[in-house]
Amino acid sequence: MKKSYRFIVLAFFVFSTSSIHAQFTTSGINTTTLDNVGIGTESPESLLHLRKNQSLASYPTQTSRGDSFQVFTNANNSLEFGLAGGSNTRRSWILSRHSDLSGAYGKYYNTLHLQPDTGDKSIYRGIAIGYNANEHISLGAHLAVNGSVGIGTTAPKYGKLQVYGNGSDQGINLWTDTGAMTSRIWIDNELGTFHLTKGGSPANGITITESGNIGIGTPNPQHGKLQIYGTGSDQGINLWTNSGILTSRIWIDNTLKTFHITKGSSPDKGITIAETGHVGIGTSTPKNKLSVNGTIWAKKVKIRLTDAADWVFEDNYKLRSLAEVQSFIDENKHLPEIPSASEFRANDMEVSEMTNKLLQKIEELTLYTIAQQEKLEQQNQVLASQEEVLIDQNMALIDQKNINIKLEKRLRRLEAILLNK
């Protein structure tokens, strides 16, 4: 940098026709000054002030450096600092490329490093854009931007980062250290969709439509705010623990048209909802609104009945005699109006219907009990009457016995009198 500064100063001495105000001191091979130096200006505002006053702007091309203010060259490499002319143009640049602009070499860009790694980044600070010049960015930060960043656009105004592009190759692509692409973040301007995908296919990731619908595995989610496309237990939503153990799966079977929430991949280890709306627990083929293959434990179960068996208590109800019930049981081996064991095995049991039938039998038993109670009361009345008769008879027997004892005593006295004579 000292050599470049020296060259600029010498050029100033040779080519400038303006008045010289700076005081220079030569010591050996070094020429120095403590004053501001101006090139193209008589009133330099900094240690080195370069000035042009071009009415039109000229920008760098493959064969031109445009409004270049400084050029540094080393071998065939150059570094250019440019500031566009023209009023209110407000454009400047730093360009690193091949130094030969006479032909096709001007298109060969060099790598431009800002804050390059010098081997020890323990107290590294990177580049700050848009902050006050007196502000530090924190240690370890490579880039800090105070404002909006545009990629593919010069007018970023929607958020802190705006990426302009259309299609999977025009978004944000994430790669591994080995150079394998992992994911892409992109939009489709024609469909108005946002994509987060594995590779370039929207079917291999997440899609968000302009209406806010989210699709996983489908590029066109139209059925609900969240639509997941896939068939089988490995194509749904899998839930895992922190230790990597699979806990639950939410999935569909396109062939059977069933929805599953399962422990593992077996539909028999969870909940199944069939196309008919039937729900199965522990079974993948529910035959009723709710089919449970296992034990149900509950504190309370409510069953709605359309009818109750209170008609048993109507006057016109024909109650079988116990003899008729006994005859039916001897012949059929089950109660009347109650299905047999073979019928239960073949047709299962309807809880509401069976509850009503059991209620009917309980009410019939109540009637039998009432009838037996009436009969017992009648028998008790008869027994009480018979008991009174027996008591009277007993008292009469006691009286007769007392009479007999008295008669016996009199006979003995008579016998004694007769024997003494």
Per-residue pLDDT of the chain (421 residues; tens, 9 = 90+): 444 444 444 444 444 444 456 788 888 888 899 999 999 999 999 999 999 999 999 999 999 999 999 999 999 999 999 999 999 999 999 999 999 999 889 999 999 999 999 999 999 999 999 999 999 999 999 999 999 999 888 899 888 888 888 887 778 888 888 877 778 888 888 888 888 888 778 788 889 998 899 988 888 888 888 888 877 766 777 777 787 777 788 888 888 888 888 887 788 888 999 999 999 999 988 988 999 999 999 999 888 777 788 888 888 999 999 999 999 999 999 999 888 889 888 887 788 888 888 889 999 999 999 989 999 999 999 898 898 889 989 998 998 999 999 988 888 888 888 888 6
- Based on the domain organization, do 369 and 333 belong to the same domain? yes
Q: Give the containing element (helix H, strand E) for 412.
A: helix 351-420
For residue 121, the model assigns a pLDDT of 92
- Asked if residue 5 is part of any domain, the answer here is no
For residue 17, the model assigns a pLDDT of 41
- Asked if residue 39 is part of any domain, the answer here is no
Among 251, 274, 297, where does a domain finish? 297
Beta strands in 30-74 (DSSP E): 30-33, 37-39, 48-50, 68-74
Q: 272 pairs with which residues across the strands? A: 260, 280
Structure tokens given for 22: 């700076």
Structure tokens given for 413: 């006295």
Structure tokens given for 251: 């999935």
- Based on the domain organization, do 316 and 394 belong to the same domain? yes
Domain span at residue 240 reads 235-297
For residue 20, the model assigns a pLDDT of 52
- Asked if residue 170 is part of any domain, the answer here is no
Say how far residue 9 (Cα) sits from the centre of its chain: 68
C-beta of residue 358 within 8 angstroms of C-beta of residue 364: no
- Asked if residue 279 is part of any domain, the answer here is yes
For residue 109, the model assigns a pLDDT of 95
Cβ neighbours, 10 Å, residue 260: 24
For residue 421, the model assigns a pLDDT of 67
- Based on the domain organization, do 254 and 316 belong to the same domain? no
| Alpha-carbon separation of residue 287 from 257, 266, 283, 353 (angstroms) | 14, 18, 10, 18
Among 247, 269, 297, where does a domain finish? 297
- Based on the domain organization, do 326 and 376 belong to the same domain? yes
| Alpha-carbon separation of residue 98 from 116, 128, 367 (angstroms) | 20, 28, 114
For residue 12, the model assigns a pLDDT of 45
- Asked if residue 328 is part of any domain, the answer here is yes
- Based on the domain organization, do 314 and 399 belong to the same domain? yes
For residue 335, the model assigns a pLDDT of 92
| Alpha-carbon separation of residue 129 from 92, 136, 137 (angstroms) | 15, 11, 10
- Asked if residue 257 is part of any domain, the answer here is yes
- Based on the domain organization, do 277 and 358 belong to the same domain? no
- C-alpha to C-alpha distance for 231 and 227, rounded to whole angstroms: 13
- Based on the domain organization, do 323 and 401 belong to the same domain? yes
b/e per residue 124-140 (b: at least 16 CB within 10 A): eeeebeeeeeeeebeee
- Asked if residue 262 is part of any domain, the answer here is yes
What is the model's pTM?
0.51
- C-alpha to C-alpha distance for 268 and 282, rounded to whole angstroms: 5
- Asked if residue 381 is part of any domain, the answer here is yes
The total domain count for the chain is 2
Structure tokens given for 239: 């839930």
**Residues 6 or more apart from 227 whose CB is under 8 A from it?**
213, 214, 215, 216, 218, 221
- C-alpha to C-alpha distance for 157 and 154, rounded to whole angstroms: 9
Among 245, 275, 297, where does a domain finish? 297
